[in-house]
């Protein structure tokens, strides 16, 4: 068998990189985003339930969205549903971004270490 025919059967290097790329995007972005939203929501639930018994710095560390939502809520008197809805949106969003950043950094470090050993 000529070497040219065997070479034609192999996949080009660009195609191999494009097949591997979605796995990296899922591992580096999608999975940390889903985990960040879930952990952020659970951290808000736990911190709001035990806010009165924990020190302020610990609540702010576990659920930064709770404290930011307390600061960001307007002083205007709207309905209770409107106020509580925006309070939840702000706190869940901030917590999700906070935990996404943590999980994305961990995924980056794990992926970098795995690429270095391969």
As averages over each run of 10 residues, the pLDDT of the chain (118 residues) reads 54 55 75 94 92 90 92 78 89 96 92 76
State the pLDDT at residue 46: 94
Question: Cβ(110)–Cβ(31) under 8 Å?
Answer: no
Looking from the CA of 26 toward its CB, the CA atoms found within 13 Å total 5
Domain count, the chain: 1
Residue 5 lies in a domain: no
Token match 């409107």: residue?
Answer: 82
Identify the pLDDT of residue 34. Answer: 94
Give the domain range for residue 64.
39-118
Which pLDDT score, from 0 to 100, does residue 106 have? 93
Nearest one of 53, 35, 33, 55 to 43, comparing CA atoms: 35
pLDDT given for residue 63 in this prediction? 94
Amino acid 84: pLDDT? 87
Helices (H), 26-79: 31-49, 56-62, 64-72
Tell me, yes or no, whether 82 lies in a domain. yes
């Amino acid at each position: 068998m000529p070497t040219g025919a065997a070479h034609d059967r192999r996949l080009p290097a660009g195609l191999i990189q494009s097949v591997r790329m979605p796995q990296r995007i899922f591992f580096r972005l999608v999975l940390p985003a889903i985990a960040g939203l879930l952990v952020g929501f659970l951290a808000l639930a736990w911190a709001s339930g035990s806010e009165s018994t924990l020190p302020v710095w610990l609540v702010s560390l576990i659920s930064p969205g709770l404290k930011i939502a307390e600061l960001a809520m307007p002083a205007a008197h709207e309905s209770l549903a409107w106020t509580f809805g925006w309070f939840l949106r702000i706190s869940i969003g901030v917590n999700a971004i906070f935990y996404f950043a943590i999980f994305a950094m961990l995924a980056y470090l794990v992926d970098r270490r795995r690429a270095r050993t391969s």
